[in-house]
Amino acid sequence: MKTKQFVYGIKGNIVYSKYPEKIEICDNSYLLYEGNKIIGVFSKIPDAYSEIQVKDYGDRLIIPGLVDLHVHAPQYAFRGLGMDLELLDWLNTNTFPEEAKYKDTEYAEKAYRIFVDNLRKGATTRACIFATIHRKSTMILMDLLEKSGLSTMVGKVNMDRNAPDYLIEHTEESADETVEWIEEVIAKKYSRTRPILTPRFIPSCTDELMKRLKMIQKSYQLPVQSHLSENYEEIAWVKELCPESAFYGDAYDQVGLFGKDCKTLMAHCVHSDEEEVKRIKENGVYVVHCPESNTNLSSGVAPIRTYLDEGIHVGIGSDVAGGATENLFAAMTYAIQASKLRWRLQDDSLKPLTVAEAFYIATKGGGEFFGKVGSFEPGYEVDAVVLDDSRLLHPQELTVQQRLERMIYLSDDREIYAKYVAGEKLFERG
């Protein structure tokens, strides 16, 4: 018999994904876990666990925590502003001046605290986060995230060209500061906050810096996050800067920062051609869909149906502040709506995303980057969000799946009743 004092359960309407095309619905069921490992979902408690403690959440929904694979913490301060510009003008007009402020650690602490506090309140349990080039401020962000109880990967950004002078490091300085930052993170011995190598994108990083970052990546075995094929002007710029590269992603691949032995996130992939898609699949690169940002900055709509059909890893990102909100329920809604517009107006061979598929990429699809995360299958880590939809009044009887769909389209932080990350309860409303 199992040692019962280490096994716990939560009870409610349990909802999760095993595959993109179907949502698993377990009405009035029990999620049992030991430490940070899920034992399983049961309609009744097995005899071997009959004496365990169970938290009963009644008729509420229990879903896996949502995973934000692409968000810029320093941009949170200006979300919802400057959306009349396309990507490159938006960076120069809004993003770079704001990120320069993070040289001031007092400003960084104030701004990052707002970001972390709000992220903690929502349904997001895991996130991959861009900071700025500033090492000390990046450590402030990581300290705050560690205290929050969320599980995150954070990157000190690298840029040594094609940005304002006030936001550029010399190549050697950028590499050296990155190593010093990694060593400081290691010394801190965080339990939930990990470093991720973060070259902003090819236009802002010289070949020499990218080669140095590969050496750092190999030495410390870090994952990597960056941007790919977001905007036509950006793609043309990469072709000009890297004429020897067959396509945008090839510029990363030539230095070994595009999957294979280097776990890699690439945000956007809106305009990836067939050759790039093939390389993404071959190298096991994760595509991060950022539908609200792609709409706000007039970048286009990524062919997520193609990526799913090809078996490519796909997750979702809020991409604040290109996206105006960190609410991943909203991101799911945008993903579905954008795919419908793409199907209707651009390519009717790619069917729109379903609610089940959007839910999958926001949970298990993105969670895979962190390991066995984002599902309630046995052996997965215990990330769970309890949803209370009593505020969303309705006159008719609804199934659990219908209630989930309404949550995706209508909910915000007010529906978050309780939240568990890596087997520990972060909070529960009284």
Mean pLDDT over 96-112 rounds to 98
Closest to 86 in 3D by CA, of 322, 287, 304: 322
Cα dist from 198 to 93, 202, 223, whole Å = 22, 11, 9
What is the Cα–Cα distance from 403 to 385, expressed in whole angstroms? 15
Beta bridge partners of 288: 267, 315
Cβ proximity of 361 and 335 under 8 Å: yes
Res. 100 pLDDT band, cuts 50 70 90:
very high
Average confidence score pLDDT of the chain: 97
Q: What is the pLDDT of residue 68?
A: 99
Task: Name the phi and psi angles at 178, rounded to 5.
Answer: -65, -45
Measured from the Cβ of residue 165, the count of other Cβ atoms closer than 10 Å reads 6
Q: What is the pLDDT of residue 48?
A: 94
Q: What angle do CA 397, 122, 354 make, to 5 degrees?
A: 50
Q: Tell me: the pLDDT tens digits for 237-289?
A: 999 999 999 999 999 999 999 999 999 999 999 999 999 999 999 999 999 99
Q: What is the pLDDT of residue 139?
A: 98
Q: What is the pLDDT of residue 430?
A: 77
What is the Cα–Cα distance from 264 to 223, expressed in whole angstroms? 6
Q: What is the pLDDT of residue 119?
A: 98
Res. 137 pLDDT band, cuts 50 70 90:
very high
Measured from the Cβ of residue 399, the count of other Cβ atoms closer than 10 Å reads 11
Region class of 268: left (phi > 0), else alpha (psi between -120 and 50), else beta? left
Cβ proximity of 260 and 284 under 8 Å: yes
Tokens matching residue 300: 């286009």
What is the Cα–Cα distance from 290 to 111, expressed in whole angstroms? 23
Mean pLDDT over 187-201 rounds to 98
Mean pLDDT over 69-92 rounds to 95
Q: What is the pLDDT of residue 82?
A: 86
Q: What is the pLDDT of residue 2?
A: 46
Closest to 28 in 3D by CA, of 54, 64, 67: 54
Q: Tell me: the pLDDT tens digits for 342-354?
A: 999 999 999 999 9
Res. 102 pLDDT band, cuts 50 70 90:
very high
Cβ proximity of 244 and 210 under 8 Å: no
> Is residue 3 pLDDT above 60, yes or no?
no
> Is residue 4 pLDDT above 90, yes or no?
no
Q: What is the pLDDT of residue 1?
A: 43
The pTM (predicted TM-score) of the whole model is 0.97
What is the Cα–Cα distance from 76 to 305, expressed in whole angstroms? 29
The full set of domains in the chain, from first to last, is: 4-64+378-428 (2.30.40.10), 66-370 (3.20.20.140)
Cβ proximity of 242 and 202 under 8 Å: yes
Tokens matching residue 405: 């769909």
Residue given tokens 């140095």 in the structure block: 212
Q: Tell me: the pLDDT tens digits for 216-247?
A: 999 999 999 999 999 999 999 999 999 999 99
